[in-house]
Amino acid sequence: MAPRLILASNSIRRYDLLGQVGIIPDIIDPSNVDETIYDQSLPPHQIALMLARKKAYSISENEQYKNDFILAADTVIAIGRKIIEKTEDIEKARENLNLLSGRNHRVYTAVCVRDQKGIFYNRNVETRIKFKLLSESEIHLYLNTDEWRGKAGAYAIQGFAGGFVVKLIGSYTSVVGLPLNETLNLLNGIGFNAQNKSKKK
């Protein structure tokens, strides 16, 4: 049987980004890794990498995937070393948006892939973003969209919050959830021919 691409994520954003370049994962199997950040002493980029690796390692333990390619990713947003975590609480989301208002922050998205030999490779992408100064009414309107729910940093750049960005240095797709250029390079580097795969799809 031909090797498959296993996406270790239930993120529709990552699935859609892959589809944007013609790649459709054969299987979506999100890991059950606890994404709670217990050790805040680690730099944000290391936390993103640690979580991406955990996700890939977790799925790789499934024997039925031993001859397949595995792709996992994780996104962390931080102001300095302070991480702005995902939230399901609207008041916490309001607090996070007030914290980001008018300030620079960094988005780290780590990608981890496993090849057919069981070897893991990873890449970490940093993007710098500045939000405009947000009014209370803008924050209120955004919270009503529910786009913040479950999002790193309490926002989704591809939605309403795209209007908050006054500066972006780095990878837009990384902020959405998957740096496409780096991901394609990793996949091609481990023998998964992304271009051929997309043609077949």
3-class SS of residue 106: strand
The catalytic position among 39, 74, 89, 115 is 74
Joined tokens for residue 156: 């989704």
Give the domain ranges of the chain: 5-200
39 labelled catalytic: no
Closest CA to 186 of 117, 107, 123: 123
Report how far residue 100's alpha carbon sits from residue 92's, in angstroms, rounded to the nearest whole number: 12
Q: To the nearest 10°, the Cα dihedral for 39, 77, 84, 59?
A: -50
pLDDT tens digits, residue range 98-152?
999 999 999 999 999 999 999 999 999 999 999 999 999 999 999 999 999 999 8
Mean pLDDT of 25-46: 84
pLDDT tens digits, residue range 157-193?
999 999 999 999 999 999 999 999 999 999 999 999 7
Residue 31 has pLDDT above 90, yes or no: no
pTM value? 0.91
| Topology adopted by domain 5-200 | Maf protein (3.90.950)
Which pLDDT score is estimated for 32? Answer: 81
CB 195 within 8 A of CB 23: no
CB 147 within 8 A of CB 160: yes
